[in-house]
Amino acid sequence: MGYKVAVVGATGNVGREMLDILAERAFPADEVVALASRRSQGQEVSFGDKILKVKALDTHDFSDTDICLMSAGGETSKEWSPRIGEQGCVVIDNSSAFRYDSDVPLIVPEVNADAIVGFTKRNIIANPNCSTAQLVVALKPLHEAATIKRVVVSTYQSVSGAGKDAMDELFNQTRAVFTAGEVKQGKFTKRIAFNVIPHIDVFMEDGYTKEEWKMVAETKKMLDPKIKLTATAVRVPVFIGHAEAVNVEFERPLSPEQATEILRAAPGVLVIDKRENGGYMTPHEAAGEDATYISRIREDATIENGLNFWCVSDNLRKGAALNTIQIAEVLINRKLLNRAKQAA
């Protein structure tokens, strides 16, 4: 049986990636509909070897649609996801709108696929923040082996996490630096070309940014509320691919060799860790790949039961579009979609 799938935000970075991945993975869809705001109506987007004409979200009837992949931003999702869910269509939302709602499961399939059954309360499933998704894929098997007490993570996040305009800004600023032109700022608070910015999302009262808070809240919701986590999120002049330097303290001993074997066997993870020049992964190499790559696994001798590692992933894929489609695949493989229609 084929399914009808709608992609909302089909003209954006993540929406286009969703369409590419649906085609790549031969998702069992009889029909795929590309949706966006009225100003994008009539634009064309690629879906495998087909071209789809973008239709307007506000005139689409979701009553005969099985799955809606939502990638149109938090405000749009807050308005539309509940309305779409009420029509019996399951929304898999890529924004932060419902991640912290107790009636909405927050899912990374390699980490907490069983929690997906809670979607019937609202017919909405949340996709985590891009930086959290790759982190919990790496932490989950280690937590099962030795129980994580505390995590300290510093992120090196690409500009694509802030959208197409941010990618254009990096490109234009870089060109301006080389041609002695005017370096114009728009999307970012400081120049991003040949620079790093320790500020992603808005500042909160405690001095952390919302991006850093998201990593804490989402890790606790998906993995274990007892885990203590602190983060520093940094934007770097890279187009695609987030990297993270991760320090973990465990309750029980776990050697670098044991951690390496555990991670090699973990779903969604590839270990590239040779202690030699170039024996590690970088965002450039991870772009376009599905895996979460782990490198630089080593002991932290300054604490008891401590490890460090380097974690890299394509933020548009595992951090967003791929994870969303993997969630849809779980719905289908576990035969859960008929529950959505019944709940509606």
Binding residues: 11-14, 39-40, 99, 157, 160-161, 235, 315
- Residue 282: helix, strand or coil by DSSP? coil
CA count, 13 A, side-chain hemisphere, 105: 22
State both tokens at 120: 């019937």
User: Per the annotation, where are the binding residues for NADP(+)?
Assistant: 11-14, 39-40, 160-161, 315
**Given the residues 68, 89, 130, 311, the one annotated as active site:** 130
User: Per the annotation, where are the binding residues for substrate?
Assistant: 157, 235
User: Per the annotation, where are the binding residues for phosphate?
Assistant: 99
Which residue in the block uniquely carries the two structure tokens 């024996």?
279
φ, ψ of residue 323 to 5 degrees: the values are -60, -40
**Given the residues 68, 89, 143, 242, the one annotated as active site:** 242
List of long-range contacts for 289-296, beta carbons under 8 Å, 24+ apart: 289/313, 289/314, 289/317, 290/314, 290/317, 290/318, 290/322, 291/318, 292/134, 292/137, 292/138, 292/268, 292/318, 293/269, 294/138, 294/263, 294/269, 294/270, 295/271
Amino acid at the residue 202: V
Strands 50-53 and 44-47: antiparallel
Name residue 152's beta-bridge partners: 230, 247
Q: Please confirm, yes or no, whether 242 is among the known catalytic residues.
A: yes
H or E stretch at 219: helix 210-222
Distance CA 332, CA 171 (A): 40
φ, ψ of residue 343 to 5 degrees: the values are -65, -35
Question: Are 235 and 131 spatial neighbours (Cβ–Cβ below 8 Å)?
Answer: no
Q: Enumerate the active-site residues.
A: 130, 242
